[in-house]
Amino acid sequence: VFHGRILAQRLVGQETRYEVEVKAPYRRRFPLVSREYLWVPNTCGCPPLLEGGEYLLMARRHVNHEHTLNRILLQDGGYARPWTPREARLVREAARHC
């Protein structure tokens, strides 16, 4: 889970690749750097992510069996919500309870 700002997007085959500025990581199971690529299947029912928009994103690290592909994937059932001051408050409260 992380707070990110969409910098750019590019259609690549059946997926959209978003360049994301990682503003703040939360509950991370894998390391994030300040800029990441977020991959979204075009069949995903996720809300569209707009360039310049800030979102709370719940994605997972996807590594294939050959370990030749290592990327962040927002799947169906993932979470992408526009960032608001309310989101910041909820994340801080959740972090205090962990």
pLDDT on residue 21: 96
CATH code of the domain containing 59 = 2.40.50.120
Q: Measured between alpha carbons, how far is residue 40 from residues 15, 53, 62, 68, 69 in Å? A: 6, 16, 12, 18, 15
Q: Please give the share of the chain, as a percent, with pLDDT higher than 90.
A: 31
Range of the domain at 52: 2-96
Residue 29 DSSP symbol: S
84 contacts: CB under 8 Å, gap ≥ 6: none
Place 51 in a pLDDT band, splitting at 50, 70 and 90: very high
- Give the C-alpha separation, 63 to 76, whole Å: 17
Count: domains in the chain: 1
pLDDT on residue 23: 92
Give the position of tokens 């259609």. 11
Q: What is the pLDDT of residues 4-14, one digit of tens each?
A: 999 999 999 98
